[in-house]
Amino acid sequence: MWRYTFKRLIQGIVTVWFIATATFFVMHFVPGDPLSDARATSEQIRKNLEARYGLDKPLAEQYYIYLKNIASGDLGISFTQQNREVNDIIREHFPVSAALGVLAVVFAALGGILWGALTALFRNRMPDIVIMFFVVLGVSVPSFVFAALGQLSLVTLNDWLGTSILPVAGWGSVQHLLVPSLVLGLGTMAFLTRLMRSSMLEVTGADYVRTARAKGLNATQIFIRHQLRNAILPVVTVLGPAIATITTGGFVVEIVFAIPGLGRFFVQSVQQLDYTVIMGTTVFYGGFLVFMVIAVDLVYGLIDPRVRVR
Amino acid sequence: MTRPLLEVEDLAVEFDTHGGTVKAVRGVSFSLQEGQTLAVVGESGCGKSVCVQSLVGLIPMPPGRITKGSARLHGEEILGYETLGGKRVRGQMIGMIFQDPMTSLNPTMRIGDQIAEPLCLHRGMRRRDARKRAIELLELSQVAEATKRARQYPFEFSGGMLQRVMIACALACEPRILIADEPTTALDVTIQAQILSLMRDLQQERRMSLILITHDLGVVAQMADEVVVMYAGKVVETGSSDDIFYSSGHPYTQGLKSAMPQNQDRRAQRLEPIAGSPPDLFDPPQGCGYFDRCPQAMRVCEQHHPPDVALGKPLHRCACWLHDERASDDD
């Protein structure tokens, strides 16, 4: 088990290194640089600035310095925001995105499992048809539409009640978190519902379910003890990639709900070619996702003894 | 003669499918004596599994449907009832084991817990006691190192071992009847012999009745006291094991026998297959189901159902016109 974990971690570090390298070179091959805006018109000023940031050095050397800094945990200073360390940006804004993302994943996973199980239990009957209709909506409608709809319905609700039970936008309390994370998780929830439905249907016809019936268990006992755990397995498998989709997809929802998450910096930095922020956020996100996928794989063994590593 | 433990009378089961209604079981009657082994024999699709599984409510309904008949255990109706005298029919009065042990156990649950499950459920045993009992049951089923094995998962077992686990599971609540639905079909021959002898030992030890569903006449000869031969959803012949093997009355039973390899010089014996295939049960024939394939078919067989005729011995009965005086050879 420890050997396996260790191996996976090494693989993860290699993956992150690959992400860092690819990002570094792609970023530098894009025309322009962080200094090519109106303020640095004079040739001399430009030279001075390049020297100050080390951009006059050969690319290979920059790359070497960069890797060394990442390894020591220093992601550098932003080009566009004065004197702001990338580490500070992440420290300040990532917890916001993480809280949003984690809650969204929880909504998506619980919702997906619950709705999926329900549709399978009521196969081809009314609840199944209704839920599957919403699932198709959830899969095909983009999240900013749900975000706007969510806000609209909140405004209407608050207006109708005369008080504000849930804030429409902004950040600061748990109430601020609920609707955005639900919106963020909807697409994944729909996807997981479909997955759970098909795996539940498969499990329902399994021989061991018949054995459980032969033992005299009733439908509820069979569902809880025998079907659920086996049906969840495929859902858990895709949870790693699902976490990736949700955390990187958070940007749009963060913008619509005016949430100060990391997603905004991630996108803005690319537009402004803010080298250090691009590198910092990409490497950080990459590392986070790789770690989550490893964690999911390790957790999988807890549920399915067949893949447990000794 | 004492009252039978289980009496099944005129049982009929249908399935609604997209293509229409399949009449899988069309009026089956048999009885099972206390402590005896009853073998239900027939080819694939003849309704033997459906018939027996419907007794304990194991066929999915819908699409399945019991259209008529009754099944009485200790003289009381069990069809459509979950319990009998405060005891659950399934799992407590009647235990079951199935064809494929590799898929019949929950892959994500410890073996010991799967055996303990019915004990907690029907006997209200505490988990720890039930686990202890599960280990005893494993030992009873001759699983070596039971304590260690109880903590393992199905994928760590071989097929034969899993069938022993299934037996331990089915016997946990000491049922009066054990239904074994082709218990050895998925196992290789040496393991098959071990499982059969284990089942017989346990049956004698516990004075339990056994319903054995199989298409293997060798297994029947080894295990059965009484035999029910089924064809196209109906019983064609019943009798003691000796009646069936030495004085079989129905052409189908005779056909089955000549299609079975015997322990003789191979060159001397050729196996004779039964030509043709069973009738379509979407639209079962009006007369005898075996008419199309029967070498001794008469005109009456096509139009009229054969009567159930007693053949000398007390339990030996056969549904065939050949044994009816009304049908003469020139018919």
pLDDT tens readout for residues B228-237? 999 888 888 8
Tell me what pLDDT residue A169 has: 78
Choose, out of B104, B127, B152, B153, the residue to mutate when testing the contact with A (most A CBs < 10 Å).
B104
User: Which residues constitute the domain of residue A107?
Assistant: 91-272
Higher pLDDT, B141 or B62: B141
For the segment A19-51, what is each residue's pLDDT rounded down to a tens digit?
A: 999 999 988 888 877 777 656 567 787 788 788
Tell me what pLDDT residue A10 has: 92
Nearest to B108 among A215, A217, A305 (CB): A305
Within-domain flag for A282:
no
For the segment B180-224, what is each residue's pLDDT rounded down to a tens digit?
A: 998 888 888 888 888 899 999 999 888 899 999 988 888 888 888
Higher pLDDT, A163 or B209: B209
d(CA A264, CA A74): 21
Q: Is the pLDDT of residue B329 over 60?
A: no
Within-domain flag for B95:
no
Pairing status of strand B234-240 against strand B226-231:
antiparallel
d(CA B288, CA B286): 7
Residues of B in contact with A222 (CB under 8 A): none
Q: Is the pLDDT of residue B1 over 70?
A: no
Highest mean pLDDT, choosing among A134-138, B16-20, B259-263: A134-138
Query: What is the average pLDDT across B280-287?
Result: 82
Helix, strand, coil % in chain B, rounded to nearest 5: 35, 25, 45
Q: What angle do CA A108, A112, A116 make, to 5 degrees?
A: 175
Query: What is the average pLDDT across B277-281?
Result: 81
What percent of chain B stands above pLDDT 70?
Answer: 96
Cα B274 to chain centroid distance, Å, stands at 22
DSSP string, A37-64: SGGG-SHHHHHHHHHHHTTTS-HHHHHH
Higher pLDDT, A149 or A40: A149
Query: What is the average pLDDT across A147-157?
Result: 88
Q: Is the pLDDT of residue A310 over 60?
A: no
For the segment A233-252, what is each residue's pLDDT rounded down to a tens digit?
A: 888 888 887 887 787 778 88
The candidate with the shortest Cα–Cα distance to B237, out of B221, B220, B219, B252, is B252
d(CA B12, CA B69): 6
Work out the minimum CA distance from A254 to partner chain B, whole angstroms. Answer: 40
| Neighbouring C-beta atoms of residue A15, cutoff 10 Å | 16
Highest mean pLDDT, choosing among A246-255, B235-244, B274-283: B235-244
What percent of chain A stands above pLDDT 90?
Answer: 21
Q: Are the C-beta atoms of B210 and B204 separated by less than 8 Å?
A: no
Within-domain flag for A190:
yes
Q: Is the pLDDT of residue B301 over 70?
A: yes
d(CA A189, CA A30): 37
What percent of chain A stands above pLDDT 70?
Answer: 97
| Minimal-distance CA residue of chain A relative to B55 | A214
- Does B106 contact A at CB distance below 8 Å? yes
Cα B212 to chain centroid distance, Å, stands at 4
Tell me what pLDDT residue B305 has: 83
Within-domain flag for A9:
no
Choose, out of A124, A207, A210, A215, the residue to mutate when testing the contact with B (most B CBs < 10 Å).
A215
Tell me what pLDDT residue B324 has: 76
- Characterise B100 by phi-psi region: left (phi > 0), alpha (psi -120 to 50), beta (else): beta
Tell me what pLDDT residue B268 has: 65
Please report, for the domain that includes residue B270, its CATH number.
3.40.50.300
Within-domain flag for A42:
no
Within-domain flag for B225:
yes
- Rounded-to-10 torsion of CA B13, B17, B20, B25: -20
Overall number of domains in chain B: 1
User: Which residues constitute the domain of residue B313?
Assistant: 6-72+204-323
Within-domain flag for A143:
yes
- Does B288 contact A at CB distance below 8 Å? no
Within-domain flag for A16:
no
Within-domain flag for B265:
yes
Within-domain flag for A154:
yes
Average model confidence (pLDDT) across chain B: 85
Within-domain flag for B119:
no
Tell me what pLDDT residue A17 has: 92
Work out the minimum CA distance from A120 to partner chain B, whole angstroms. Answer: 15
Choose, out of B61, B103, B106, the residue to mutate when testing the contact with A (most A CBs < 10 Å).
B106
Can you read off the two tokens belonging to residue A213? 């019936």
Q: For residues A56-75, b (16+ Cβ closer than 10 Å) or e, as one string?
A: eeeeeebbeebeeebeeeeb
State the count of interchain CB pairs (< 8 A) between A and B: 72
For the segment A1-13, what is each residue's pLDDT rounded down to a tens digit?
A: 788 888 889 999 9
Work out the minimum CA distance from B53 to partner chain A, whole angstroms. Answer: 9
Q: Do B104 and A207 touch (CB under 8 A)?
A: yes
Q: Do B118 and A210 touch (CB under 8 A)?
A: no
Tell me what pLDDT residue B331 has: 47
Overall number of domains in chain A: 1
d(CA A170, CA A176): 6
Q: Strand, coil or helix: what is B135? A: helix
Within-domain flag for A46:
no
pTM: 0.79
Query: What is the average pLDDT across B87-104?
Result: 86
Tell me what pLDDT residue B267 has: 65
For the segment B119-163, what is each residue's pLDDT rounded down to a tens digit?
A: 888 888 888 888 998 999 899 888 888 899 989 999 998 888 999
| Neighbouring C-beta atoms of residue B308, cutoff 10 Å | 16
Within-domain flag for B125:
no
Work out the minimum CA distance from B134 to partner chain A, whole angstroms. Answer: 14
Phi, psi of A180 (to 5 degrees): -55, -40
Chain B residues 77-96 with CB within 8 Å of chain A: 88-92, 95-96
Please report, for the domain that includes residue A178, its CATH number.
1.10.3720.10
